[in-house]
A and B are shown apart, each in its own frame.
Chain A
């Protein structure tokens, strides 16, 4: 069954907690005794969406498994900012091996746990978009195809951030990165490329695939919890703005995630065994421009003469998502 938002208690399900709700209806993040799996002292940039997304997701998984969790982490910002010698921010058993093998390492952990009869301990693999959609894609697909008992979480900040913001196959069209500079006839990233990994994950017919953003905590936690209810390969793709890489204000991280979803640029949905089972509807429809404008990586679209045509193409992408996933209620 799809996520049921709490109808109305001043803020409904929109805020992290809500003093008017039962404890069980509040988010994991609202709990005083949440696990803080990724704890203070990490070296993520101010306002890092990935740091936030990782804590949201892993805490939720910890909650769902009664703290019986092991995580394998791909190289990337999350790994670098959380475990520079001599300090680790993790409170869970955690391993970093390589950039491209998190899914396989996790498969190995799951195999070890199975053979040792410790099925109660669950395994998560996690990485950035680069580590997931590009270099780790083979291992990811292998893990999916074998239906290994692993939940893979991709923290998508739409570029290789740790190496200084280079294009990945998750970088959106028109975005400026260090390898798709805003110069030439078609400034920024090209149109028509990129890889839709949630769709590819679904094509593997794995039990559970979902997308989520750091702006909708209850939805994210619901999906992690739901994913932990399945055995076999599962995939959650979390949209996590990167203030540094996107040239956005550090306080706008959640706002941008919200706008990405509300514009339709990032469709939020879940799928079981290859079929979409629910979508997160747009609540306040807005044009893509509102999402693009606060980000320097799109600044070239808003120069003296706004690149109306490019913005329109991006709007088309959003509109197509809206249509494809039915993101708008008839009423809205």
Chain B
């Protein structure tokens, strides 16, 4: 059914259609609307049977989810940013225990300085935790990915994180196709846990494992996640068969035919990039786009295949690995091992900084001309940072960098548009 609704509501409806049995909620912007909507559905009885638990922290949210999942319930939670970091220990644990929890991460920056706006730093911080990480490009895809996520998680007995850009997607009202329950039921069978806490067949879950078997345990975790590389496209295919829509998969190319330059990105920014690329194509520039949907497992082969024919790639990412540069870019480079492509990293949209087509035109142009620096910060206000750096050079003092900038700018100026 087509509905004009907020992204968060769309996702909430998708989650509800997946018939989760336990939902743990702890508020953090921009995730709040999703769990609020679900809470209401549970209260009205629209979503039943389901336990909606208002926990006291994200750490508890994930911990409650672990318990519920281990006891055989289909379990869902959502978080973002500080919340994701607050639950990290449990996030790793859920993966280690192989519990098929599905979690929405409404991507948001991480402080300090505290910032509620969108970037991918939160999800990227968890790239090695053992969860499958899927990034939605649109609200429709966010909705669809949640349905696929439960299926994938439960088939592999691995947790899946569905990442959607905070505010940009979560708070955007769009027309969305919310599928019928019967279709979802047809696609997503009831949860059959691989291992379950049950007095009828007691097991001890969560042993202490020493050096004699730890490597094997980790290898198996890796192998299991890698097996998703095969399964994710199949599930997307099946999804299309049932719902008649393309959603999910490992990567999605756009105008890649004969492209010399390929822009690689994740999430909603792909829309702006595609618009920019369309304009460049109109001018005859051989440029295309590769959207990565599955960041974990990272589809090395698919990325390599998509980029192999190009001359250069530009990774535009909403995250920064402080001290080295791009995170996605580093992963992409690994896919291209041995190929002679020039590569550029554009760090963009941090903490909600708008990514405009104008800026993209400028940086893509520089990239095509091979004039772009290897790691470029989009729309960086160079004078501002230069002042700080200068002073830093002169007076080595302690204290947070942010504080230094604020001192220079005054608090009003810190409200960056």
Contact = CB atoms under 8 A, between A and B. Distances in A.
A139 B63 contact: yes
A88 B64 contact: no
B206 A95 contact: yes
Band of interface residues on B: 35 or more
Contacts of B202: 90-94
Interface stretch (A13-21, A45-53, A101-109, A174-182): A101-109
Given A108-B63, A141-B56, A97 B93 contact: yes
A164 interface: no
Interface string B199-215: 10111111111101100
Interface stretch (A79-87, A237-245, A280-288): A79-87
Interface stretch (B70-78, B258-266, B312-320, B344-352): B70-78
A104 B64 contact: yes
Interface stretch (A114-122, A126-134, A250-258): A114-122
- Secondary structure type dominating chain A contacts: mixed
B85 to A, nearest CB: 15
B199 A108 contact: no
B71 A109 contact: yes
A142 B57 contact: yes
B51 interface: yes
B327 interface: no
A70 B66 contact: no
Contacts of A112: 21-22, 51, 67-73, 75
A100 interface: yes
A306 to B, nearest CB: 42
Mostly, the B contact residues are mixed
B209 A85 contact: yes
A146 interface: yes
Contacts of B374: none
B383 to A, nearest CB: 45
Contact of A138 (B50, B56, B66, B206): B56
Contacts of A139: 56-57, 59-60, 63
B65 interface: yes
Nearest to A89: B204
Contacts of A2: none
A82 B54 CA distance: 32
Contact of B56 (A80, A86, A110, A142): A142
A69 interface: yes
Contact of B70 (A88, A104, A109): A109
A203 interface: no
Contacts of A94: 197, 202-205
9 contacts: A67-B199, A69-B199, A85-B207, A90-B204, A96-B204, A101-B63, A101-B90, A115-B50, A142-B60
